[in-house]
Structure 1
Amino acid sequence: MMRFHRTVSRSMSCLSVLATSKRLSTKRQTKRLRNPREIIMSDDILLEQDGRILRATFNRTPDNGVSDSMARDFSAAILSAHENSDMVLLSSAGPDFCTGRVRDADAGPPSPEAYSRRPEYDAIFGCYRAIKDAQVPVVTVIEGRCMGFGTAVTAVSDVSFASSTATFNIPEVGHNVMPTMVMSALYDRMNRNAILWMAYSTDFIDAERALNYGLVSQVVDAGKLDAEVDRFCELLVSRPRPAILGLKEYLRVAPRMDQQGALDYARSIHSMVNTAAAMKE
């Protein structure tokens, strides 16, 4: 399993550290909201603590296929992100956001027995759950192709920005693979007909159709994407922390309740958040 290598030098600037990464694309040159104070690097994932934002970058260029070890490390990072952050910003290096799941090089062949093989997929299922369970919102920026695992991550993210040139698909059936890992992330985010059409056809859809399907939050002209993402992040971290956490908590829990439970929970969290001292600052 690949582990993060915490080779951090606080005296180095963010740009000089990024320059040492041989594989990091220079595609995204976003404005920093504050002075970055920490870089956590592995070969395939970069994590940067930038003020109250945890910036995560898929860096397995050129295709940004995501391995099980990458998914586990990303899950661990976002589940503890609330300790230092008000949000997670996920983007990618290279031309594509994510071209799907790939096996770790040292994983060996999959088990031929169904019962023993089932846990081999837990890193992927666990990543979808981690994005939902993270206390702070996960904001995703999609450029280029977004396939399979990438489509699922986009769907379960709290807010997602798609470049006007981004495309999305569910390719598994074309490889004679049942796409239930992806579908487990989509079933309550998109309508049934859209999911099945994407799964059966494996066709790519453009960003505007992804917006119509409810897969992404916003579609932004490619030339304006960075500026719009920066604007939103600056706005989000300016909000009172109880509201940031409370909004996600309610939408994580309420949909599983009956109508009366969702109403009662709304009354309780409304009182809790709106009486917090931070809401009055």
Structure 2
Amino acid sequence: MSGLTYHIADRVATITLNRPDKRNALNGALVRELREAFARAEADDHVKVIVLAGNGKAFCAGADLEYLQQLQQNNYEENLADSRELMQLMEEMYTLPKVVIALIEGDAIAGGCGLASLADLSYAVPAAKFGYTEVRIGFVPALVSVFLVRKIGEGRARELLLTGRLIPAEEAAAYGLINKVVPAEQIRAHVAAVAQSLCNDASANSLKITKQLVRTALDQQLPAALETAAHLNAETRQHPDCRKGVGAFLDKQKPSW
């Protein structure tokens, strides 16, 4: 049985973790399914925005208990291969040219909190809890630490990763871990509205290049980042989307994206 569902409507692909009895916990199979689902959405020209959600009371509770038990039996090479599979999922989410929105209607713990932090935009219900609890079971938040430091800064990342404490949604928003807390009865409509706004009001090429610019600003030293930005600026000016958008603006019309 598949650990997720995949649905497309109005240019939005919704990937829903679908292991509610396991609190949508991650295992090797689900990580592979997520990679396949994101690749499917990336390759589909009819998809402009991706929403990641969870079915049931939790968004994602981290690693599955049976999966953790299996990892105890693995040798170093097997664990390294497994770690690289999760690494590839995280890197693919981070570099995906399409916008990823996390719809968080329950707790996002450990690896689940990693998924939430890797999304471009994240919205959560007030009752959701967030945390990286790995140190409490003798593990380490190795892969997610690379991305979390970039997202919320070293000081706050140290606090969350070292203490392993769970924080409420409002605090997660104050830390910059998520974008906004939305009442439970409104969150699906809110995420749908954000997704449709991106689909209708922004160029797909511009969204892709803007995501690339944000990565460049973090990956390169200032002179190199500025040079890359200048080249991307020049290239974008020649793109059909830019010609279309500027033309519509000059004609006082709204471009159709």
Q: Give TM-score scaled by structure 2 length.
A: 0.84
C-alpha distance in structure 1 between counterparts of 2:152 and 2:235, whole Å: 31
2:160 alignment partner in structure 1: 198
Counterparts in 2 of 1:191 and 1:226: CA distance versus 1, 3 Å:
same
Greater displacement, 212-221 / 187-196: 187-196
- Distance (Å, rounded) in 1 between the aligned partners of 2:97 and 2:31: 18
Distance 1:124 1:138 in 2: 17
Alignment of 1:273 with 2:232, yes or no, is no
- Could you tell me whether the CA contact under 8 Å between 1:151 and 1:169 is conserved in 2? yes
Root-mean-square deviation (CA), in Å?
2.2
- 1:251 and 2:217 equivalent? no
**Per the alignment, do residues 96 and 86 of structure 1 end up closer, same or farther by CA in structure 2, a change over 3 Å counting?**
same
Aligned partner of 1:11 in structure 2 is none
User: What residue in structure 2 maps to residue 240 of structure 1?
Assistant: 203
1:71 matched to 2:34: no
Deviation by residue 1:77-104 (Cα, 9 ceiling, x = unmatched):
2134232211211011001101002267
Distance change >3 Å, CA 112–CA 78, structure 1 → 2:
closer
- 1:100 matched residue in structure 2: 62
Q: Do the aligned residues in 2 keep the contact of 1:79 with 1:135 (CA within 8 Å)? A: no
**1:227 Cα offset (Å):** 1.7
Counterpart for residue 27 of structure 1 = none
1:114 to 60, 76, 97: 76
The answer to whether the 8 Å contact 1:145/1:168 transfers is yes
Does residue 262 in structure 1 map to residue 225 in structure 2? yes
Shift of the 73–218 alpha-carbon distance from structure 1 to 2, 3 Å rule, reads same
Supply the distance in 2 between the matched residues of 1:184 and 1:265 (Cα, whole angstroms): 22
Conserved? CA contact 2:103–2:124, under 8 Å:
yes
Contact map agreement 1:207 1:219 (CA 8 A) in 2: yes
- List alignment gaps of at least 5 residues for structure 1: 1-41
- Which consecutive residues of structure 2, in runs of 5 or more, have no partner in the other structure? 245-254
Distance 1:118 1:83, change over 3 A: closer
| Structure 2 letter corresponding to 1:258 | Q
Report the Cα offset of residue 121 of structure 1: 1.6
Q: Secondary structure at the match of 1:222?
A: coil
| Aligned-partner residue type, residue 26 of structure 2 | V
Amino acid paired to 1:277: P
How many Å apart are 1:128 and its aligned residue?
0.9
What displacement does 1:115 show? 4.3
Residue 112 of structure 2 corresponds to 150
